[in-house]
Amino acid sequence: MSRPVRKIAINTGGGDAPGLNAVLRAVTLAACERGLEVWGIKHGYRGLIEREPGGLVRLDRQAVRGIMHLGGTILGTANRGDPFHYPTCEGNTVVPKDRADDLIARFHEEGFDALIAVGGDGSLAIAQKLVERGLPLVVGVPKTIDNDVFGTELTFGFDTAVAIATEAIDRLHTTTESHERVMVVELMGRHAGWIALRSGIAGGADVILIPEVPFSYEPIIEKILQRESRGRHFSIVVVAEGATVAGGGVTIREVGDEFRRVAVLGGVAERVAKEIALRTGKETRSMVLGHLQRGGGPTTFDRLLALRFGAGAVRFLVEGCESGMVALRQHSVELVPLAEVAGKTKTVDLHGDSVTTAREMGICFGDEPPGRFPLDGPLPASLDPVMKPCS
């Protein structure tokens, strides 16, 4: 018979997402209603590993009052705090070390019975490894604006990111049309195109480029020229940060300072914009929406989903569940085995309704053969329709 859960630890790991504070509030209130203790781990797992003062904070009704609508997380987060590759200073260098045993020892020392790990696919994979290493009971809560966690229909944070991206695309329509430009908008999503797909359709984009569909430039140019022939002298191109040219790789840029440089996805919008300008002669600009997609408070949908996930996590713990992940399936919150979802990525279904709808509306994904979009009339003399080689 499993040990009764009396004291719960909770952390928020990976990139932040709107709705994290709503999860913390729901977990805390649901636990308080049952007479359970909840303690928050600061900055991912750092508060448990480092033994810093204030690394563990008691969460009670007062601590979570008024946070439900706020963005970010009152616990802080870390996307480079993997306890199995924990950054550790040795002299003047930082090297990764396995600190998982230290984490588990502190977990038992503090008298915790269960861990609620709130995070994306990377955080959930770490949670599963901790279970395999000996942590007794873990419930994962799927969080990411990318919506790429396997096993759940939606993650909280995604709806907010799509709403922000859609509003940005809406605003770009007026300025792009006024100047008769092509605007290329780069959105987050890593290796899944959910944000670009949903916001691109809702925002009226003419071209949507996603990682699941390697693109060629010819169909994109054909689409822009088609619009020109119809008297529409501007176009909106939405591109996910992980989109790739057919036969090529992702676009990487380096961020950081002289002491620490990190390679991250980014820069594809600029590359696409330069190629469109070269091939069409049209003024083309690029814009990266970036971390605006993560910031601010959650939408009503995300707030409610986060509350449902948080309350569900506590409910499953007190019901004597095995380690798992709360998930949204057919409008209901269920618990799925953590081992079945950890380390897997949910990508866009290319035969799903969203992609089908976009194609039926004439949105280009960069994979259609040239000529699919026939020109309806002569092009303006200022445009050169001759395809030029990639630079």
Task: Give me the catalytic one of 16, 82, 113, 146.
Answer: 146
Residue 376: what pLDDT? Answer: 58
282 and 307 in a common domain: no
* C-alpha torsion 60→65→69→72, nearest 10: -50
Residue 262 domain boundaries: 161-294+349-360
Stronger pLDDT, 64 or 387, i.e. the higher one: 64
Model confidence at 90: pLDDT above 90:
no
Task: Compute the average pLDDT of residues 128-141.
Answer: 96
356 and 253 in a common domain: yes
Task: Compute the average pLDDT of residues 27-41.
Answer: 98
Q: Domain for residue 389, yes or no?
A: no
Q: Domain for residue 244, yes or no?
A: yes
102 and 18 in a common domain: yes
Residue 386: what pLDDT? Answer: 44
Each residue of 317-341: pLDDT tens digit?
999 899 999 999 999 999 999 999 9
Kindly report the average pLDDT of the chain as a whole number: 90
Model confidence band, residue 59 (pLDDT cutoffs 50, 70, 90): very high
Model confidence at 175: pLDDT above 80:
yes
> How far are the Cα atoms of 129, 217, 220, 363, 365 from residue 368, in angstroms, in the given order?
42, 10, 9, 10, 7
Model confidence at 370: pLDDT above 60:
no
Model confidence at 390: pLDDT above 50:
no
CATH number of the domain encompassing residue 318:
3.40.50.450
Question: What percent of the chain has pLDDT above 70?
Answer: 91
Residue 304: what pLDDT? Answer: 98
Q: Domain for residue 242, yes or no?
A: yes
| Cβ partners under 8 Å of residue 206, min gap 6 | 223, 224, 227, 235, 236, 237, 363, 364
232 and 353 in a common domain: yes
Model confidence at 263: pLDDT above 80:
no
The pTM score is: 0.90
237 and 281 in a common domain: yes
Each residue of 190-238: pLDDT tens digit?
899 999 999 999 999 999 999 999 999 999 999 999 999 999 999 999 9
Residue 262: what pLDDT? Answer: 54
Stronger pLDDT, 338 or 261, i.e. the higher one: 338
Each residue of 264-282: pLDDT tens digit?
778 899 999 999 999 999 9
- 93-97, 159-163, 249-253, 347-351: segment of lowest average pLDDT: 249-253
Task: Compute the average pLDDT of residues 294-306.
Answer: 95
113 part of the active site: no
80 and 166 in a common domain: no
Model confidence band, residue 391 (pLDDT cutoffs 50, 70, 90): very low
Model confidence at 251: pLDDT above 90:
no
CATH number of the domain encompassing residue 189:
3.40.50.460
Characterize 109-145 residue by residue with b for buried, 16 or more Cβ atoms within 10 angstroms of its Cβ, and e for exposed: eeebbbbbbbbbbbbbbbbbbbbeeebbbbbbbbbbb
Task: Compute the average pLDDT of residues 125-153.
Answer: 96
Residue 254: what pLDDT? Answer: 58
Model confidence at 378: pLDDT above 70:
no
243 and 326 in a common domain: no
302 and 290 in a common domain: no
Question: What percent of the chain has pLDDT above 90?
Answer: 79
Exposed (0-12), middle (13-18) or buried (19+): which is 260, by Cβ within 10 Å? exposed
131 and 254 in a common domain: no
Model confidence at 20: pLDDT above 70:
yes
69 and 143 in a common domain: yes
Residue 29: what pLDDT? Answer: 98
Model confidence band, residue 15 (pLDDT cutoffs 50, 70, 90): confident
Q: Strand pairing of 252-256 and 284-288?
A: unpaired
